[in-house]
Amino acid sequence: MSTASASPPAPSSLRERKKRRTRQLLVDTSLELFTERGFGNVTLDELCDSVEVSKRTFFRYFTSKEDVAMAPTQDLWLTFIDVLETAGLGPADRPVLLLIQDTLLTALDRTTTDDWSHRVLLSRNLAERTPSMDAHGLHFCDRTTRAALATLHRRLDIPDPADLRPRLAVDMVIAAFHCALATWASATGTATGTAPGKAPSPDSLSAHTRHAFTALAAVPTFPVTPRQDTSPRP
């Protein structure tokens, strides 16, 4: 092989790696500053100065302080949408609930690392005491749900556009994952809003998620018996 044929990496590839590093630095720095000083006590100017980027650069990656603070979890759901759009859909007549569950588990495998675990715990703790982050999360969840439904209707043969079952399946998977995320986070004793110590294994999040999906499947046949004593408890 000639020397000329052994070309160096394309400049665009180098630029993409630099963009990813800048974005990650913004996420890591924001979570560190917000955790140490409080979300409302750190201005966007201070965050940009800490990373040595301009506000114009910041807005290339994020729309707001809330957006960068919630990036760890949002990245998972963006990967979920990507998998749903590009991966194989499996055999015909597969229950849509199982399809969506498997899609999320694949997204978890692609997203979660030890560093991601630490970031998502910091982000969760901030959101618990920051109303604007909670509101941002609700808007992001709504956008993600609509994107998932649009993809399902585009890729699957769903005769009735008004069929509620795909929407309910997406909602149930999201709810089950939130339950799994809460129990996973509580394993560190950090669900009360304090800064986390050692993050739990990302593999354990997949295990918690699978457990939540198993529980979800059992909900329709979960029997309950009314209590005999219905008097108010002290």
The model's pLDDT over 158-182, given as tens digits with 9 standing for 90+, comes to: 999 999 999 999 999 999 999 999 9
The position carrying tokens 């593999």 is 203
Which amino acid would we find at residue 88?
G
* Domain extents in the chain: 11-64, 70-219
Q: Would you place residue 203 in the very low, low, confident or very high pLDDT band (cuts 50, 70, 90)?
A: confident
Q: What is the pLDDT of residue 192?
A: 42
Q: How far apart are CA 97 and CA 92, in angstroms?
A: 13
Which amino acid would we find at residue 55?
K
The CATH fold assigned to 11-64 is: Arc Repressor Mutant, subunit A (1.10.10)
Q: What CATH number does the domain located at 70-219 have?
A: 1.10.357
pTM of the model: 0.85
Per residue in 58-86, is it b (16+ CB within 10 Å) or e — as a string? beebbeebbbbbbbbbbbbbbbbbebbee
Helix-strand-coil percent breakdown of the chain, rounded to 5?
A: 70, 0, 30
Q: Do the beta carbons of residue 107 and residue 83 sit within 8 Å?
A: yes
**Residue closest to 184 by CA, chosen among 111, 117, 106:** 117
Q: How far apart are CA 220 and CA 4, in angstroms?
A: 65
Which amino acid would we find at residue 72?
P
The model's pLDDT over 25-67, given as tens digits with 9 standing for 90+, comes to: 999 999 999 999 999 999 999 999 999 999 999 999 999 999 9
Q: How far apart are CA 137 and CA 66, in angstroms?
A: 9
Which amino acid would we find at residue 11?
P
Q: What is the pLDDT of residue 62?
A: 97
Q: How far apart are CA 141 and CA 44, in angstroms?
A: 24
Q: Would you place residue 202 in the very low, low, confident or very high pLDDT band (cuts 50, 70, 90)?
A: confident
Q: What is the pLDDT of residue 83?
A: 97
Q: How far apart are CA 200 and CA 131, in angstroms?
A: 26
The model's pLDDT over 104-161, given as tens digits with 9 standing for 90+, comes to: 999 999 988 878 988 999 999 999 999 999 999 999 999 999 999 999 999 999 999 9
